[in-house]
Structure 1
Amino acid sequence: MPVSPAALPPALPSVFTTSEALAAGVGRERLRRGDLVQIVRGLYRREEVMASESEIVAAYQRQVPGAFAMGTTAARLWGFPLPGVLDIPVVEASRQLRRRQARTAYPVQRSGPDRRIHLGAPDGSHRSTSLVRWSCPRLDAMPLATADDLVRTSRLHTYLQLGTSVGLDSLVAIGDHLVRIPRPRYEGRNRPFATIDELKDAAGHFTGRGAARLREAVELVRRSADSPPETSLRLAFVRAGLPEPLANGRAAHAGSDLGEPDLQWPQWRVIVEYEGPRHRSPEQRQKDAARDERRKLAGWIDLPMVAADLAAGCASAVNRVRAALHSQGWAG
């Protein structure tokens, strides 16, 4: 009859390194038992739990003095709205990478973004693997911050590191996220993470890769966008030659409160609302219907937008808004 593996020390984290296991009295033979999963060489997790990216980062920071998260890894830890697969936490070795024969380097294939955890360290002795990309940046030019017991580059410097990782519109959306005015009732803070002036100053002094794209992006950042879809719509409207809308400002007409539309053109009484997942609950639908009725009675055109309206450069949204503005007297 198979013998059950010995219980692990309670103090051993769910994700741990070989050195931590040995220090806790767990032998190498025990590490090969079925209740443990080897994430990569030297890093394990308990079989019954899936490792989180933050737990993996924490394990490496316990092992490597002075290690910190940077690049897209720091961006995910900060909660930046990254595009596409970059927003998905990294919890396993990248399948995009291949190991060169007789070498320990893992070059990234050109077919997509680097899907590894990105860590920095004060010395350059750490070799990158299929899970972790190590860098050795100048620490005097790398402001660090600690949150949730994890060390990472500051929000502002993390933003600067994304200049070559994401496109222009995504940089604008992340900038909007950093400077937007928070709602204390829901977010527990009353100050933005940064100001537009701070973003412009940082981008203006930045000389690293992607500097030109960053400077272009911060000129398009606005304070009031609540989500990347709102940013995408705003940018598409302006590029199509439509007047720039007001984002998340209070709308009113003849003493009637019309709420805070995602985007609006008050002089032509046109509103755009992006209906994401939170609008699908019965309670929210009821509130939206009552609000939309008030706007209709006040003579405003309320255009609901969904994900399909973002396709093809927001072409559908642009056409709908242009028609609504013309019907309300816009002569552009």
Structure 2
Amino acid sequence: MSRAPSPLPETLRYAIFSTAEALAAGVDPTRLTRSDLRPLVRGLWARADRTVTEREIVAALCRVDPTAFAAGLTAARLWGMPLPGVFSMPVTEPPRQAHVVVGSEILPPRDGAVDRRLHMATPGRRRQGTRLVRWSRVEAETVGLLEARNGPAVRLVSRVGTFLSLGAVLDVGALVAIGDHLVRRPRQEYEGRSRPYATIPELVAAADGHRGRGARRVREAIAQVRMSSDSPPETALRLAMVAAGLPEPLANAPARQECAGGEVVELGEPDLHWPQWKLALEHEGPSHLHRRQQDRDIDRGDRRRDAGWVELRTTAKDLRAGCAPAVTKVRRELVRGGWRPG
């Protein structure tokens, strides 16, 4: 019967650590082969009793190389940017078919597929990739520091720099959603901040000087970024309305109606609205499932109807096929309200 592995030194507190860190803490090399540890990639070990996170892996790689930092999709996930589909999923294991092995060298995937390995970079010579990590050369002045109460500090490309780099892998609609996320007006009471992560002029200036892959796509996206969209579904709905030839709606802006006698009724800030045609649209996300929010939604809808407005509600099913169901609903109500195409 094998003995339980001896405890690791308290100084080796990380969930993921390097061979060099273990040896520096006095761990015998044979201790690394015990069942409570598993190798992630060459030189990195994960504790079996802890959850492996993308952030912990990045932190370990940054400790191994003080010049290293996260880039691309990895940096975007760490910053909390709203990535589409599979790109939003953290990478904690070597992705399947995400790379090409030629002899001892590991290369990006062929045929234009997106390399979904962890993306790390240094300002110096590009390092050789592994099954888990791809390496790039990126100038160090674009690097920021991300700190959190419940996780290790990591170095990564700045938010704006990350946004620019995503033009190489994302389509315009996804880039607009991320741009909206960066410039949106935060709510101090919920987010603890009052300033946006960036402004539209800052994005424009950064894009004007950007010459990397996808630069034209980034500039096309920035032209459609608005500071008032609160979520990717709202961005998708707004873009779909414009693409379908409907008037561009106001997003999360105050709606008001002047009634008889000069009284002005405040109608809240609809997700989207067309004041000329007295039409408001609210997208029902997860927060609207709470009873208190539902009560507020009902009261607000009553005020709008009393003021002569129409309020439409959309859900996830209305986002299908490029938001075609939502576009149909809105077009019908705009026509009823007096709008005419062309």
Q: Is the 8 A contact 2:72 2:162 kept in 1?
A: yes
Q: Distance in 2 between matches of 1:281 and 1:45?
A: 39
Residue of structure 2 in register with 1:126 after alignment: 127
Are residue 277 (structure 1) and residue 286 (structure 2) matched?
A: yes
Gaps in structure 1 of 5+ consecutive residues: none
SS at match of 1:169: helix
Q: Is the 8 A contact 1:96 1:115 kept in 2?
A: no
Per-residue CA deviation, residues 144-187 of structure 1 (Å, 9 max, x unaligned), is 11121211111111111111111100111111111111111111
The 5-angstrom pairing of residues 1-332 of structure 1 reads: 1-12=1-12, 13-97=14-98, 100=101, 102-110=103-111, 112-124=113-125, 126-139=127-140, 142-148=141-147, 149-253=153-257, 254=259, 255-332=264-341
SS at match of 2:303: helix
- Which deviates further from its counterpart, 275-284 or 97-106? 97-106
Q: Distance in 2 between matches of 1:80 and 1:99?
A: 28
Change (3 A) 1:97 1:268: closer
Change (3 A) 1:99 1:205: closer
Note the aligned Cα RMSD (angstroms).
1.5
Q: C-alpha displacement at 1:37, in angstroms?
A: 2.0
Q: C-alpha displacement at 1:98, in angstroms?
A: 5.2
Q: Distance in 1 between matches of 2:203 and 2:126?
A: 33
Residue type of the alignment partner of 2:229: A
SS at match of 2:106: coil
Q: Is the 8 A contact 2:229 2:252 kept in 1?
A: yes
Q: Distance in 1 between matches of 2:291 and 2:97?
A: 42
Question: What TM-score results when the alignment is normalised by the length of structure 1?
Answer: 0.95
Question: What TM-score results when the alignment is normalised by the length of structure 2?
Answer: 0.92
Q: Distance in 2 between matches of 1:329 and 1:187?
A: 40
Q: C-alpha displacement at 1:216, in angstroms?
A: 0.7
Per-residue CA deviation, residues 5-57 of structure 1 (Å, 9 max, x unaligned), is 10011221111111111111122221111111222222111111111111100
Residue type of the alignment partner of 1:143: T
Q: C-alpha displacement at 1:190, in angstroms?
A: 1.2
Change (3 A) 1:320 1:99: closer
Change (3 A) 1:121 1:259: same
- Which deviates further from its counterpart, 113-122 or 208-217? 113-122
Change (3 A) 1:200 1:111: closer
Q: Distance in 2 between matches of 1:138 and 1:242?
A: 43
Q: Distance in 2 between matches of 1:285 and 1:131?
A: 44
Q: Distance in 2 between matches of 1:45 and 1:6?
A: 16
Q: Distance in 2 between matches of 1:322 and 1:195?
A: 32
Q: Distance in 2 between matches of 1:101 and 1:244?
A: 51
SS at match of 1:287: helix
Percent identity between matched residues is: 50
Change (3 A) 1:81 1:330: same
Residue type of the alignment partner of 2:2: P
How many aligned positions are there?
Answer: 330
Q: Is the 8 A contact 1:106 1:130 kept in 2?
A: no
SS at match of 1:105: strand
Q: C-alpha displacement at 1:99, in angstroms?
A: 5.5
- Which deviates further from its counterpart, 165-174 or 88-97? 88-97
Q: Distance in 2 between matches of 1:193 and 1:98?
A: 33
Residue type of the alignment partner of 1:173: A
Q: Is the 8 A contact 1:9 1:24 kept in 2?
A: yes
- Which deviates further from its counterpart, 292-301 or 59-68? 292-301
Residue type of the alignment partner of 2:335: H
Per-residue CA deviation, residues 89-133 of structure 1 (Å, 9 max, x unaligned), is 111111123553532324325484211111111332621011111
Residue of structure 1 in register with 2:150 after alignment: none
Per-residue CA deviation, residues 211-265 of structure 1 (Å, 9 max, x unaligned), is 1111111111111000111111001101111110000011122333221110000
Residue type of the alignment partner of 2:125: G
